[in-house]
Amino acid sequence: MHWLLQDFEDTHKLAEALNRLEIPYSWHRAVPFVGDLIPEPEVADPHAVVMFGSYALWKFAEAKDFRPGVFKLRPFVGKAAWHPYLLNGTDALFVTLRELPGRLAGDERYWFLRPVDDSKAEPGSVKSASEIVRMAEQVLVLQEDEIPNGSLRHDTELMLTKPVRILQEWRLWAVGGEIVTYSLYKEGTRVVYRREIDADALEFAQQMVDLNPGYSPAYVIDVCRTDEGLKLLETNCLNAAGFYAADLQKLAAAIDALVAA
């Protein structure tokens, strides 16, 4: 399989793993707002190509019929099997950006906010209601054709939940239904990258993967420990997610084997 890499710090780490595995790859630059790659990829078999870099690469993958290309995901909040395990999943508020100013008028609370889909248009974060309204208003004053691709839009659906104290956060990589590597990335409010995980958290993450066997051939799943136990934070597109302290050689080998199977 041929790997197409966009020039980022994380993808250089991935390239080192590909070198050790003797897996072929090439470097490319994405043209902003257009999506073309420079140089144009030279691909022998379009059905044996995988891409790593920005999330927007999926458009190029679809245009060229690259497979697997980018492992696109359906919104994790739409998966009923995961609902009992989501962080604040039972009391989430789903609202479009257009509706935010009206829905949060006079609200003085803090909310955890993130887009429902995996567009990366806005990173998940805790903001006050007034901050969220200001953010929405800055977008709403723009005409739709003035908004860059990949940014928040008037009809972007957002999920708002009550902030919860998180003790630890882990990222895990699921390929072919199995967790192949993992990384701690946060302890409390402190960002830390270590290739370690508590045994119960690893078991919990694999349980989440088992609950949705057809979700995606490969994806990232983030889980956390709270005062109320282990919770599912979110899923992310594996092709565009940060690697933290993951074992990239294990990850690359698993993806290559998945496509070759």
Name residue 26's beta-bridge partners. 4
Per-residue confidence in pLDDT tens, the chain, 261 aa: 999 999 999 999 999 999 999 999 999 998 876 678 999 999 999 999 999 998 889 989 999 999 999 999 998 988 999 999 998 666 788 899 999 999 999 999 999 888 888 666 777 788 999 999 999 999 999 998 888 877 899 999 998 988 889 999 999 999 999 999 999 999 998 999 999 999 999 999 999 999 999 999 999 999 999 998 999 999 999 999 999 999 999 999 999 998 766
C-alpha 8/C-alpha 56 separation (Å) is 14
Is the backbone of residue 22 left (phi > 0), alpha (psi -120 to 50) or beta? left
C-alpha 235/C-alpha 225 separation (Å) is 16
Tokens read off for 30: 């994405």
Is the backbone of residue 76 left (phi > 0), alpha (psi -120 to 50) or beta? alpha
CB distance 88 to 112 below 8 Å? yes
Instruction: Classify 215 as helix, strand or coil.
Output: coil
Q: What is the H or E stretch that residue 7 is in?
A: none
Tokens read off for 167: 């003790």
pTM across the whole model: 0.83
Tokens read off for 102: 């009206």
Tokens read off for 12: 């250089």
CB distance 37 to 60 below 8 Å? yes
C-alpha 41/C-alpha 233 separation (Å) is 35
Tokens read off for 75: 């919104």
Mention every residue, 6+ apart, whose C-beta is less than 8 A from residue 39: 28
C-alpha 45/C-alpha 132 separation (Å) is 46
Q: What letter does residue 227 receive in the DSSP assignment?
A: T
